[in-house]
Structure 1
């Protein structure tokens, strides 16, 4: 008798995330809504005690993209610091090492552990630094950061990542897997580890750049991980009044 064929469960295929580029164009409206809100004036939101906060920009962005958030946090009583990133396209491991040095510098200067706020890819870098420096980082807040699946982004965004990868390959031909899921650098393993510090992951269900579900982090038994959903665009999370309220509460 012939052996019956062995059947295996088919792995579900996740369709490409097409995103919504037009939806991302509303950032000016989101900024206007923020400036008109009580949150921006510091009404009914917790204020800081001078603790240091380092802000980390997203992919293809620099510290200037977080200027509004940085100024707002300063008015609330937090001591804010730039990450030193002018254009976030570098090799992930190189970027993490630079951010790590910046965090150590700020922690030693202030004598206090640092809070990290990262937008999109900046949140991935912040998480990696927290994994490496749990004594220097007191908590991490991410905005639209695909921590559970770093490359689960829109087709257009992945095309931009491809161009960045090409540039990295030209600069570092010995690292052909840079900016891929197969990257052997420590950064990739850092992303797979749970957060050793309190982590708040803010996502928007209307994200046009990153698949919202990829921003959901498994919650641990210690209650250190918190997932919060708001409405708005991915780019606009930097000026989102609801996100600002969550950030103030987390800090």
Structure 2
């Protein structure tokens, strides 16, 4: 094929360059030389067609993928990787395909379960849940009466009763909010103590914002002279409760 293309190119150049068969400006000196060149090109083309040129292409054979699953692992890997040369990506694909075929060949025949919301929930094994010790039928299925007696005896042997000990002494000797709530009876807002200085609302809000909770504000209030004196301005109404602290929950808890 390449010889034919080369011959065609030479003929084109000859047609463009020469002015005539006997012209002095062409590539051929005479008509005879032109005929000889043409004959050589034709003979070369015939030789190429008769098998003296390029070698024939290799014959490619195909094999079903299902047949590869029965081959040994080493032989199957070698035959699968041969057509792809040394391309790493092609080799990886061949290995993955062969591994999938081998896994399918070793399958037990059970159809894999497809993910679906309608599938039944798997059976829980040794799952923690509500005890069935009080269910006679459930216990009867698990063990016999003799085994149940042995099980109860083992639990009794492990049972240990701890003797009561003395309560620890309270380390904090400061005001006790529970005791204070139970010793008082007035509700929030009822004045019991007079306040000489008029505390502004802005001061009340500023001071109370410094405490994370009303319980801590009430404890600090009692430490610093409350409820009789209010040095910080956290009890402007004189009810004895700083920063809107409410003793009602403590009283309710004591009554049960």
TM-score normalised over the length of structure 2: 0.16
**Structure possessing the higher relative contact order (Cα contacts under 8 Å, 6 or more residues apart):** 1
Flag the structure with larger Rg.
2
TM-score normalised over the length of structure 1: 0.16
Which structure is higher in strand share? 1
Which structure is higher in helix share? 2
